[in-house]
């Protein structure tokens, strides 16, 4: 799904009105109706006292229309306009008149003492500003937002939290629990710096013109299940282990050989035909006991890797996990990089060693996948002042070395040449020991199966996250461990293929 800028969304809005021959008020009706459908499914108690805080733009118009729908359905509603400007849009002004005509409790707020006592309400609906925000918020709107954030009440934002800039850094905005956004994802909703403003994000369809959306150009995308379904390779009836690819996982050191076990097992469960693990001697009994399907190749050293030599012919490599950064290991890694031309995914200490020797980055085959978490990323590209700068610097880095960079996080970002992909599968349950090792194994497996590296990155990240969505009801997020990811890779494939179970 395309991620678009506020300007592009405005254009699609106008084109929809033109192409579909509907009025802007009708489009607002669709938007308010879509929000209402979502809201009434989630909040079913009609005794909840709901306060709707609208602005004077079309986002405010949406809010007032929602107030009308909720009132009609029997919810306890109080509507307010926070009059931060006298320039009402036509559709907002229309809804103010309708709210009054329908005898819905209504209040204008122009100064601080008119702000209602939020403690009398259960849910605050934020319709203060949407994608039309053009400058920092001041005056009465800022006072209202400050009080909303201090209220401790459930806050649900319409389209975007009031004050969130869709395309640049935000420092002050409504801190919502839920954001229900209209049809087109906005990048700001998925950036870690903005999580405290955005809360959970739901995208609802409002009937924008598909043609208009198709005409908008972008290089930013939110990954959808159907995209992944299209990328999955069919399983041939005549498949045998020799045709499904051979992944080699390289890593481990004394006390950290479990990393290689997890990655190897994840690789096999992701569908490659063969998995070999290269580890120091101390790892051999561990992997052979816990994961007999893998073939183990031993380093000469008992505790860490000192050279990476093997006489097998894998199709792809996953390297770096649990490997440590000892001098000998660094040299072994360097000599390996000098001769390796296979598709590869590098994680953890592999990344840390590269950040100690940035000149070795030139040795990586094009489209090598790096999977840093933010700390590892900053060692590679330096510090950033906000998420936008982080993306800019990571993109420049990825392009300079022709790499694919996966920035791991609640929403992982995949940078592949000019393109940015946002992944929203997954839950906080994935923040668990070994989760990254499993991702390395999944991606190495997909590379070994012949997936183009950009596809392997997207499919891998999506599959990995989906395992957590699928077990939300059966495994408590606190008790979810990396092995649960591995155990549910097959279910994730089923879900993607069938589209049966919704994430």
Which parts of this chain interact with ligand LP7C6HRI (CB under 6 A)? 9, 13, 27-28, 31, 55, 57-62, 84-85, 89, 129-137, 158-159, 182, 208
Residue 162 binds which of ligand LP7C6HRI, K ion, none (CB < 5-8 A, kind-dependent): K ion
Q: List the single partner that 124 binds among ligand LP7C6HRI, K ion, none, CB under 5 to 8 Å by kind.
A: none
Burial class from Cβ neighbours inside 10 Å (0-12, 13-18, 19+) for residue 339 reads exposed
Tell me which of ligand LP7C6HRI, K ion, none is bound by residue 157, counting a contact when its beta carbon lies within the kind-specific cut-off of 5 to 8 angstroms: K ion
Residue 426 interaction partner, one of ligand LP7C6HRI, K ion, none, beta carbon < 5-8 Å per kind: none
Give the relative orientation of helices 374-381 and 348-356 as an angle to the nearest 10 degrees.
Answer: 20
Q: How far is the CB of 380 from K ion (least distance, A)?
A: 36
What DSSP character marks residue 233?
A: P
- For the record, the structure tokens of 189 come out as 């909703």
From CA 413, how far away is CA 33, in angstroms rounded?
32
* Beta carbon nearer to ligand LP7C6HRI, 61 or 453: 61
Closest CB 42 distance from ligand LP7C6HRI, rounded Å: 19
Q: Which does 126 bind (CB under 5 to 8 A by kind): ligand LP7C6HRI, K ion, none?
A: K ion
Q: Which is nearer to ligand LP7C6HRI, 99 or 297 (CB)?
A: 99
Within 10 angstroms of residue 98's Cβ, the number of other Cβ atoms is 14
| Helix orientation angle between 435-448 and 258-269, rounded to the nearest 10 degrees | 40
Q: How far is the CB of 155 from K ion (least distance, A)?
A: 10
**Residue 123 near residue 154, CB atoms below 8 Å:** yes
Non-local (6+) Cβ contacts of 473 within 8 A are none
Q: How far is the CB of 277 from K ion (least distance, A)?
A: 51
CA torsion sign for 64, 67, 68, 69 is positive
> Which of ligand LP7C6HRI, K ion, none sits in contact with 89, Cβ below 5 to 8 A by type?
ligand LP7C6HRI
158 counts as binding K ion under rule CB under 5 A: yes
Among residues 157 and 495, whose Cβ is nearest to K ion? 157
Q: Which of 54, 89, 157, 270 binds K ion (CB under 5 A)?
A: 157
Q: In the window 118-137, what residues touch K ion (CB under 5 A)?
A: 126
Residue 336, contacted partner among ligand LP7C6HRI, K ion, none, CB below 5-8 A by kind: none
Structure token pair of residue 493: 């494939």
Nearer to ligand LP7C6HRI, 63 or 271 (CB): 63
Nearer to K ion, 157 or 244 (CB): 157
b (16+ CB within 10 A) / e for 374-399: eebbebbbeebeebbebbebbbebbe
Q: Min. distance of Cβ 167 from ligand LP7C6HRI in angstroms?
A: 13
Task: Give the N- to C-terminal CA distance of the chain in Å, as an integer.
Answer: 16
Shortest Å, Cβ 198 to K ion: 11
How is residue 236 annotated by DSSP?
Answer: P
Minimum Å distance from CB 92 to ligand LP7C6HRI?
Answer: 7
Angle between helices 435-448 and 453-470 in degrees, nearest 10: 140
Structure tokens at 487: 């155990």
Distance CA 271, CA 489 (A): 10
By beta-carbon proximity to ligand LP7C6HRI, the closer residue of 222 and 405 is: 222
Three-class DSSP category at 69: helix
Token pair, residue 264, equals: 């190897």
Q: Which does 413 bind (CB under 5 to 8 A by kind): K ion, ligand LP7C6HRI, none?
A: none
The piece of 102-110, 161-169, 250-258, 362-370 that touches K ion (CB under 5 A) is: 161-169
Q: What is the rounded distance in angstroms from the CA atom of residue 54 to the CA atom of residue 59? A: 7
CB of 227 to ligand LP7C6HRI, least distance (A): 22
Picked from ligand LP7C6HRI, K ion, none, the partner binding residue 484 (CB below 5 to 8 A depending on kind) is none
Give the C-alpha separation, 478 to 475, whole Å.
8
Binding at 182: pick from K ion, ligand LP7C6HRI, none (beta carbon under 5-8 Å per type):
ligand LP7C6HRI
**186-197 CB burial, b ≥16 within 10 A, e <16:** bbbbbbeebbeb
Q: How many CB atoms lie within 10 A of CB 176?
A: 27
Is residue 366 exposed (0-12), middle (13-18) or buried (19+ Cβ within 10 Å)? exposed
* Pick 202 or 417: Cβ nearer K ion: 202
**Two structure tokens written together for 66:** 């929602």
Query: What is the closest distance, in whole angstroms, from the C-beta atom of residue 34 to K ion in the complex?
Result: 14
Which residues, numbered 229-258, are part of the site for K ion (CB under 5 A)? Answer: none
Q: Can you count the helices (H) and strands (E) in the chain?
A: 18, 17
Between 208 and 344, name the residue whose CB sits nearer to ligand LP7C6HRI. Answer: 208
Stretch that binds K ion, among 81-89, 158-166, 251-259, 337-345 (CB under 5 A): 158-166
Which spans of this chain sit near K ion (rule: CB under 5 A)?
Answer: 59, 126, 157-158, 162
């Amino acid at each position: 799904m395309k991620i678009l800028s506020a300007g592009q969304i405005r254009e699609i809005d106008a084109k929809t009105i033109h192409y579909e021959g509907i009025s802007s008020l009708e489009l607002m009706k669709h938007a308010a109706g879509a929000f209402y459908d979502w809201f009434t499914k989630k909040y079913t108690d009609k005794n909840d006292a709901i306060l709707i805080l609208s602005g004077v733009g079309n986002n405010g118009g949406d809010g007032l229309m929602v107030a009308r729908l909720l009132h009609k359905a029997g919810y306890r509603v109080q509507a307010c306009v926070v009059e931060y400007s006298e320039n009402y849009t036509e559709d907002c002004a229309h809804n103010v008149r309708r709210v009054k005509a329908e005898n819905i409790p209504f209040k204008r707020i122009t100064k601080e003492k008119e702000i209602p006592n939020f403690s009398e309400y259960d849910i605050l609906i934020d319709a203060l500003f949407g994608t039309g925000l053009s400058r920092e918020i001041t005056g009465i709107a800022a006072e209202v937002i400050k009080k909303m954030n201090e209220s401790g009440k459930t806050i649900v934002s319409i389209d975007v939290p009031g004050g969130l800039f869709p395309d640049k850094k935000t420092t002050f905005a409504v801190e919502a629990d839920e954001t229900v956004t209209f049809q087109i994802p906005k990048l700001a909703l998925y950036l870690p710096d903005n999580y405290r403003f955005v809360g959970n994000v739901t995208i609802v369809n409002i009937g924008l013109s598909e043609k208009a959306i198709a005409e908008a150009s972008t290089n930013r995308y939110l990954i959808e299940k159907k995209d992944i379904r299209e990328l999955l390779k069919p399983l041939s009836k005549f498949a045998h282990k020799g045709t499904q690819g051979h992944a080699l996982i390289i890593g481990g050191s004394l006390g950290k050989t479990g990393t290689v076990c997890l990655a190897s097992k994840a690789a096999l469960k992701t569908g490659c035909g063969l998995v070999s693990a290269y580890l120091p001697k101390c790892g051999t009994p561990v992997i052979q006991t816990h994961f007999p399907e893998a073939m183990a190749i031993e380093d000469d050293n008992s505790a860490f890797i000192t050279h990476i030599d093997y006489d097998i012919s894998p199709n792809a490599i996953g390297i770096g996990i649990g490997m440590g950064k000892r001098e000998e290991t660094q040299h072994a890694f360097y000599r390996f990089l000098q001769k390796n031309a296979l598709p590869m995914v590098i994680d953890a200490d592999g990344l840390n060693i590269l950040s100690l020797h940035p000149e070795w980055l030139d040795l990586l085959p094009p489209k090598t996948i790096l999977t840093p978490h933010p700390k590892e990323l900053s060692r590679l590209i330096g510090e950033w002042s906000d998420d936008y700068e982080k993306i800019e610097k990571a993109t420049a880095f990825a392009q300079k070395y022709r790499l694919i960079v996966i920035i791991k996080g609640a929403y992982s970002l995949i940078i592949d040449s000019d393109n940015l992909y946002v992944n929203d599968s997954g839950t906080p349950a994935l923040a668990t020991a070994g989760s990254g090792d499993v991702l390395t194994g999944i991606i190495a497996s997909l590379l070994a199966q012949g997936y183009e590296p950009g596809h392997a990155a997207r499919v891998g990240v999506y599959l990995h996250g989906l395992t957590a969505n699928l077990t939300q009801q059966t495994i408590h997020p606190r008790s979810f461990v990396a092995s649960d990811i591995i155990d549910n890779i097959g279910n994730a494939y089923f879900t993607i293929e069938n589209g049966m179970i919704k994430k």
